[in-house]
């Protein structure tokens, strides 16, 4: 029997990174530290209470969770003007991004981004029949803001997506550059939403502000976050977004009914109530990142400046050989980014020591 597959999906492989049992799994930017027992107990208690009502549909608009997320952003990024009506959430920031594409993309519309960047962006566009255009970043992976503004004027996109810190490079975007993108987007006929994807924002260096601080003056700005990384909650699947109420209301139109389960809501609220405990190792991860970058550069490799919990390094004549050599020694990293480059997530000190020794062996 022949299946009526969409022609643009024929022969494609699903997105995914290897999930292998190795000594050091450093390929998908997970937090290497499991939640502490006190938080595990709090989540278990919250989930048990939610389980008592699982015969009923969950809160469709999850206002309690949205209020907790607004309070967290006020504490973490000093943006105390946010309320529940300014927050959206979904099953990971992937679904938040899909909602944005469903609301503002579609046939005849274009999304603009700047490569190299997160490999899922073109897939969101593909799945919503939205055009996807990229312009190259500078050689050091920063954004050439003049070129970026010119790209907006040239393509007149419905949406611009920039990750800060950028994945896979770790590059942060200055607020002045975000404002320049917003100004250019404001001139696009029919409107243009600027999405700043801050999935790794909690790992940014001291003094680097969040784009959320620009929200009051910009109704076409959306700032996306996740609880997968700094919260050590990748298995909890909770991503969220801050924006003006008018933008949030459009996302409510395209979301599926009851898209956040009662268990997910309970888990996220319990985690937010203990965010300081969950994020106790963020400073340690930052320090390990900076030490890793310094060590890689001392060995002669080029490393992109990073405000995330990973580092992109290279170039290698044969990065696949290096990847396989590390894997044979129990270290799993990621083949991603420009040709010749590799990305390593920051793990525990023990995992990073194994990575360094294995890399020296493979490249000797």
For residue range 292-341, list pLDDT tens digits in order.
999 999 999 999 999 999 999 999 999 999 999 999 999 999 999 999 99
Report the sign of the C-alpha dihedral through residues 121, 126, 128, 132, in that order.
Answer: positive
The per-residue pLDDT for 363 is 96
Reference 200, options 284, 297, 282, 272; nearest CA is 282
Strand partners, 222: 195, 243
Q: Are 327 and 342 in contact (CB under 8 A)?
A: no
d(CA 195, CA 222): 5
The per-residue pLDDT for 282 is 96
Report the sign of the C-alpha dihedral through residues 31, 32, 34, 39, in that order.
Answer: negative
The phi and psi torsions of 112 (rounded to 5 degrees) equal -115, 135
Distances (CA, A) of 200 to 84, 196, 286: 22, 11, 11
d(CA 12, CA 5): 11
pLDDT tier at 206 (50, 70, 90 boundaries)?
Answer: confident
Reduced to 3 states (helix: H, G, I; strand: E, B; else coil), residue 311 is strand
E strand or H helix that includes residue 48: helix 37-51
d(CA 273, CA 278): 10
229-281 pLDDT tens trace: 999 999 999 999 999 999 999 999 999 999 999 999 999 999 999 999 999 99
The per-residue pLDDT for 16 is 78
To the nearest whole percent, how much of the chain has pLDDT over 90? 95
E strand or H helix that includes residue 361: helix 349-363
Contacts for 364 with CB less than 8 Å, ≥ 6 apart? none
The phi and psi torsions of 212 (rounded to 5 degrees) equal -60, -25
Contacts for 55 with CB less than 8 Å, ≥ 6 apart? none
Does position 39 have pLDDT exceeding 90, yes or no?
yes
Contacts for 302 with CB less than 8 Å, ≥ 6 apart? 313, 314, 315
Reference 210, options 116, 67, 346, 74; nearest CA is 74
Q: In this predicted structure, which of 6-20, 115-129, 275-289 has the lowest mean pLDDT?
A: 6-20
Q: Are 323 and 335 in contact (CB under 8 A)?
A: yes
Q: What value does the mean pLDDT take over residues 50-75?
A: 97
Cβ of 127: how many Cβ atoms within 10 Å?
16
Q: What value does the mean pLDDT take over residues 100-115?
A: 98
Q: Are 172 and 309 in contact (CB under 8 A)?
A: no
126-178 pLDDT tens trace: 999 999 999 999 999 999 999 999 999 999 999 999 999 999 999 999 999 99
Predicted structure pTM score: 0.96
d(CA 111, CA 122): 9
């Amino acid at each position: 029997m022949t299946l009526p597959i969409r022609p643009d999906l024929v022969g494609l492989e699903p997105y995914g990174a290897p999930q292998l049992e190795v000594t050091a799994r450093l390929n998908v930017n997970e937090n290497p530290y499991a939640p502490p027992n006190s938080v595990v107990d709090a989540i278990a208690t919250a989930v048990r209470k939610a389980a008592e009502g699982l015969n009923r549909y969950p809160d469709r608009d999850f206002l309690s969770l949205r209020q907790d997320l607004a309070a967290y952003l006020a504490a973490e990024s000093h943006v105390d003007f946010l309320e529940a009506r300014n927050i959206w959430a979904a099953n990971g920031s992937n679904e938040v991004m899909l909602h944005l594409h469903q609301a503002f993309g579609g046939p005849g519309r274009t999304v603009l981004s700047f490569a190299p960047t997160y490999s899922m962006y073109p897939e969101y566009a593909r799945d919503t029949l939205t055009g996807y255009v990229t312009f190259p970043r500078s050689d050091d992976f920063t954004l050439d803001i003049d070129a970026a503004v010119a790209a907006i004027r040239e393509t007149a996109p419905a949406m611009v997506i920039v990750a800060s810190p950028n994945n896979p490079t770790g590059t942060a975007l200055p607020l002045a550059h975000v404002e320049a993108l917003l100004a250019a987007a404001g001139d696009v006929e029919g409107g243009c939403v600027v999405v700043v994807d801050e999935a790794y924002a909690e790992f940014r260096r001291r003094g680097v502000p969040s784009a959320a601080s620009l929200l009051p003056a910009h109704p076409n700005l959306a700032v996306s976050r996740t609880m997968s990384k700094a919260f050590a909650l990748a298995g909890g699947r909770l991503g969220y977004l801050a924006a003006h109420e008018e933008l949030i209301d459009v996302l409510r139109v395209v979301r599926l009914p009851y898209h956040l389960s009662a268990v997910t809501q309970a888990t996220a609220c319990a985690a937010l109530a203990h965010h300081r405990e969950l994020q106790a190792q963020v400073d340690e991860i930052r320090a390990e990142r900076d030490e890793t970058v310094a060590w890689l550069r001392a060995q002669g490799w080029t490393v992109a400046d990073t405000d995330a919990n990973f580092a992109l390094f290279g170039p290698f004549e044969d990065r696949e050989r290096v990847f396989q050599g590390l894997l044979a020694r129990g270290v799993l990293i990621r083949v991603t980014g420009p040709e010749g480059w590799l990305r390593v997530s920051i793990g525990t000190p023990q995992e990073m020591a194994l990575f360094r020794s294995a890399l020296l062996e493979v490249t000797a």
